[in-house]
Amino acid sequence: MKRVALWGVTLLLVLVAGGALWVRFLAGGPVGPFPGGALRGEETALPADWSFANQWQYVQVESRAGRLPYSATAWFLAYDGRIHILMNTFFGEALKQRIDRDPNVRIGLDGKLYDQVAVEVSEPAVRAALVAPLVRRLFAIEIGGTVRDAPRPEGDVPAEMWVYRLEDPA
Amino acid sequence: MTLRAAAVPAFLLLLLLLPLAGCGPWGPLGVVPGGPLCCDQVEEPVRDWSFSDAYPLIAIETRGRFFRHSVTAVCVSADGELYLMARRGGEKRWVHNLMADPRVRVEIGGRIYPVRVTRLTETLPGEPVARAFLRKYVGLEADEVRSLPEVPGEGDERIEVWTFRALWDDATDDGTDDGGAS
């Protein structure tokens, strides 16, 4: 029985490892919440206005900051004609670290690929203007008035939200 | 094939199928669903859930038709009460399970709490829950905050978010009833 259990566990591990390798290298992008490798799709001319993109909920973002291409699914909002991607501590830290090393990214929307440069949005006024439509769209929460960082008591969840605007490469 | 020989592939197949069906003999692993939670179950009733704010993600175990099914979920506490959120709730298996049987167990910080959940549609205490969510998961606060109705209106592109209130399941309190102290 011990031998059978060992075989079972080995089989499971092989399947899990095989699945992870497939997503990472062969799937042509992230699969749901699992990060993937280089995006596959049709390279497309950059639009002047990205407002059309709001019909989709997620964008695939590929970074080549590391040794291997890395891609992940991200929340986004087309605002003021540009794509803005939103990452937070729990769901986007790995991608953020890569973008901070190399802001050149490739995004995938509906099987089409676009090259962009990510610029962090830190101006409070712009962030506030962005946050309202973002949290409305993603979390069904409507906010108004002044938006500010919430006080974080010691030991509290270290939640942070990062917003990057995607611009056309020079 | 003898019974003993048939048992080996059957066992291997079962081992393979259980995790694929999201009901393996363990809790969820990140985004991968699991089966029954296995930690110490808390026996003392909990009335103030604000301690859950220290944990970004919790595990929730629901009762399916055949198996326990557990997933990772987000939660907030507002006015001491515990709320669970499900984006696109109608598409989630764990949400279907708890709509059929509201007895669930949540794992917060390595301990299991038996609770009963109620879906909040009309009676959502919008502002405190929305404020708590915004503070916990987005790190922001604003002058005006409110939860929007569960179902978006026509042409509204926002995601449907289902909210549940979780209350300690008194059925596990050794048969004693909450508030029944004389």
Mean pLDDT, to the nearest integer, of B88-95? 90
Straight-line distance from the first to the last Cα atom of chain A, in angstroms, rounded to the nearest whole number: 64
The closest CB to that of A11, out of B7, B15, B152, belongs to B15
Mean pLDDT, to the nearest integer, of B161-181? 65
Rounded to whole angstroms, how far apart are CA atoms A49 and A52?
A: 8
φ/ψ of B144, rounded to 5, equals -120, 130
pLDDT reported for residue B3:
66
What is the longest distance spanned by two Cα atoms in chain A?
65
91-130 in chain A: CB under 8 A from chain B: none
Residue A131 touches chain B, beta carbons under 8 Å: yes
pLDDT reported for residue A132:
84
Query: From the candidates B158, B160, B161, B163, which should be mutated to test the interface with A, based on the most A CB atoms within 10 A?
Result: B158
**Check: complex ipTM more than 0.85:** no
Please report residues of A whose CB lies closer than 8 A to that of B130. Answer: 141-142
Mean pLDDT, to the nearest integer, of A71-75? 90
pLDDT reported for residue B24:
60
- How many CB atoms lie under 10 A from the CB of residue A81? 10
Residue type, B123: T
Look at B159 and A140 and tell me if their CB atoms are within 8 Å.
Answer: yes
Residue type, B152: P
Look at B148 and A15 and tell me if their CB atoms are within 8 Å.
Answer: no
Look at A156 and B134 and tell me if their CB atoms are within 8 Å.
Answer: no
The tens digit of pLDDT for each residue in B126-167 reads: 788 888 888 888 878 888 888 887 777 777 778 888 889 999
Residue B73 pLDDT more than 60? yes
More confident residue, B52 or A160: B52
Residue B25 pLDDT more than 70? no
Cβ-defined contacts of A51-58 (< 8 Å, 24+): A51/A78, A51/A81, A52/A78, A53/A78, A53/A83, A53/A109, A54/A78, A54/B157, A55/B157, A56/A109, A56/A110, A57/B159
| CB-CB contact of B147 with B129 (8 Å) | yes
The tens digit of pLDDT for each residue in A25-39 reads: 777 788 877 888 899
Per-residue H/E/C for B79-145:
CCEEEEEEECHHHCHHHHHHHHCCEEEEEECCEEEEEEEEEECCCCCHHHHHHHHHHHHHCEEEEEE
Name the residue of chain A whose CA is nearest to B143's CA. A145
Cα B113 off chain centre by:
11
Give how far B146 is from chain A: nearest CA, Å: 5
For B61-100, letters b (16+ CB in 10 Å) and e give: bbbbeebbbbbbbbbbbbeebbbbbbeebeebebbebbbe
Residue type, B153: G
Please report residues of A whose CB lies closer than 8 A to that of B144. Answer: 142-145
Angle subtended by helix axes A2-21 and B3-20, to nearest 10: 30
